[in-house]
Amino acid sequence: MVIYEVNINVNKEIYNDYYKWLISHMDDMLKIEGFKKVEIGLVENQDDDGKKKVRVSYTIDSYDNLQKYLTCHAPKMRSAAIEIFGDKFHADRRIILEPLTLEA
């Protein structure tokens, strides 16, 4: 399993529209081969920078399927948000290989 994490800073004035769009986008992502699960969370923002911070975490069944996504699907999926919301958001991404889960 691989975790593909996207951390998004969204201008507050578009947040509600962006969040609605993001839910639909996540559903589309789950239709891509290898994408098994998605989690979303609003991140506490300590500074008043006019932005809301959102974390989206996708669980993908293999690194190969992540690479296929990055090569074949990512440009189109990413440009969709830019076409709608322009520069009113910013996304950073990271890949977590071999996640370990411990439970109490």
**Is residue 45's pLDDT more than 80?**
no
**Domain coordinates of the chain in residue numbers?**
2-60+67-90
CATH 3.10.129.10 corresponds to the domain 2-60+67-90: no
Which band of pLDDT confidence, cut at 50, 70 and 90, is reported for residue 16?
very high
Amino acid 101: pLDDT: 78
> Which residue has better confidence, 47 or 92?
92
**Mean pLDDT throughout 22-40?**
97
**Residue 90 predicted with pLDDT over 70:** yes
Structure tokens at 87: 């520069």
Residues paired with 96 in a beta bridge: 3
Asked whether the predicted pLDDT for residue 46 surpasses 70, the reply is: no
pTM of this structure: 0.89
Nearest to 9 by CA among 56, 51, 58, 55: 51
